[in-house]
Amino acid sequence: MEWIKGNLNIKDKTPEQKLAIAVIQTNFEDAFGLNDSFLRSSNKQMNMKVARDWFNSGQCDFWCDCAGTTGDHIRRLYNLLTERYNSGKINIKDIKWAILRLELKLWTYFIYTKILRFVLGIIATSM
């Protein structure tokens, strides 16, 4: 892995990336009604809808870009979680676990795309 890190300039997440990931995680929590302040709110359903709509907004794209991922990737994750939750394949504990692991998932996606670009670059130059 050190060889890959050295050749791909992979480094630890910046404070800005960590903030962006926290914003994304918060919107996941809000969309599924996991935020404690929403549970006590008389407008819980409206607040959840605002969070769900966030995933299709320019704000989502902005924060995803800051986190080193794409809005499309996050929307696919959100839609997958929603579909599995609504069908009963996963429960609210699984949703919480997925949100907690989001940072690791995004970092894995970031490394994967860097490696893919690196390999494709080698292939392109060898042709």
Amino acid at 20: A
- Give yes or no for a contact between 55 and 31, defined as CB atoms under 8 angstroms apart: yes
- For the record, the structure tokens of 111 come out as 């490394």
Q: What is the DSSP letter of 58?
A: H
Q: What is the pLDDT along the chain (127 residues), one digit of tens a residue?
A: 343 444 444 457 788 988 999 999 999 999 998 877 665 667 888 888 999 999 999 999 999 999 988 999 999 999 999 999 999 999 999 999 989 888 777 766 555 565 666 666 666 676 5
Listed by start position, the domains of the chain span 14-102
- Give yes or no for a contact between 25 and 102, defined as CB atoms under 8 angstroms apart: yes
pTM of the prediction?
0.73
- Give yes or no for a contact between 3 and 66, defined as CB atoms under 8 angstroms apart: no
CA 13/CA 69 separation, integer angstroms = 12
Which of these, 99, 109, 92, 59, lies nearest to 78 by C-alpha position? Answer: 99
